Structure 1
C-alpha cells in the first residue's frame, strides 16, 4: 500500500528536500505541497493524504490551528506529523493537544524521516527522542484538575495504568515490553485497550491525558 503524504511548510527548500527524500521511497508518494496552514487544510480535504508533514510556524493559519481543524473532521482526517526547529518549544505541547500524532525536528536524518512517516501511517504515534521526556516535563508542569479523558484513567486495570505511566515517559512499545517483561504484542494489546477505554486516538493523547489529569507528574518514576 502506498502512503500518500502532503508536505506543509512555508519554506520551499524544506518542501523540496523532504519531497525528494520521500518520493524516492517505493511505498511513499508526495501528493501535494502547501506553503501555509490555510492551504494545507484545503489540500488535505481535497487530496485525502494519509499523513501530513506539518510545520508548526506558518503564515495565515499556523500548523497547530490547521491540525486542530483537520482533527475535528474525525476518522476522515489525516494523521499529522509535526515538524519543528525548536527542541524546547511550548508550541509542541500545544500541537499535542491539537491532535498531532508525531513530532520531529527539522534537522532529522533522512532515514528517521522515512521511518517516522511509516510509523505514523501505520497508526502509531511518534515523539522524537530529543523532544520526548524533557519536553513533556517542561510544558506539563501545571496539571489541570480532572475532566476529559483523565477521568477514565481510574477505570483502567493496574497493568494498563502501568502501561500509561510508561507511555507518558516516552517509552516505545519495545521498551515497555522489556520493562514489564512481556511481549511487544501484549503491549500493543494493552495500548489498544487503553485508547478504546479512554476514547483517545493515539499514545500522544494518552500522554496529554496522563499529565493533565495529574495521574503522572513530571519527574516521577513510572
Structure 2
C-alpha cells in the first residue's frame, strides 16, 4: 500500500489579496507561512517518506524545501515535476477574483461550481480533463515505482482539489462538492493498485495554530 500526502503550498501574497495565480503567476509566501509550514512538518515528522514531489513554481518549491528542512530525513529528496503545476488559468491569471468574476462570469462560476460545464477556451486556459491527463498518469507512475511507501506531493489548491477527487472516482460534475483546499493543508489518499484510491484525510489543518479565513481556501 502507498499513501500519498497531498500538501497545498503555504499562503502567498496573492492568496491574501484574492488574486488568481495559476501556472504562470506566482507570488512570495507570507512571512507567517514559514511558521505554518513548520507546524505542518511537526505533524508529519514521525512519518518516513520515500520522496517529495513538487510543482516547479516558487511557492510550491519553497514549501517543499521548508518541509524537508524540518523532517530531519537526510536521504529524502525533492523531485520537481511540471505535472504538479496549478491549472493554467490563461487570461485570468494575476487578476483579482472580483475582477475576473466581472469580466468572465461564466468561466469563473463554472470553474468553481460546475466543472462539467467549464469551458476555458475564452480565457485560453486549461480544462479539467487536460489537468487530469497530466496529473493522473504521474501519480500512477509514482505508485508503480514506490508501491509500499509514503509519498509527499506539494502542489496547488485548485489542481489538487480536482485531481484528488478524480483519483477517488468522483464524477466531474461533483468534483467541487466538498469545496476547496486550504493553504498548508494535508489530504491523504491510499492505494493498493494505483487505480483505486481511498481518502484517509481531507483538507486537514488542525495542526495550524490559527483560525482559517476565506482567503485560505480555493
More helix by share: 1
Report the TM-score, using the length of structure 1 for normalisation.
0.31
Report the TM-score, using the length of structure 2 for normalisation.
0.31
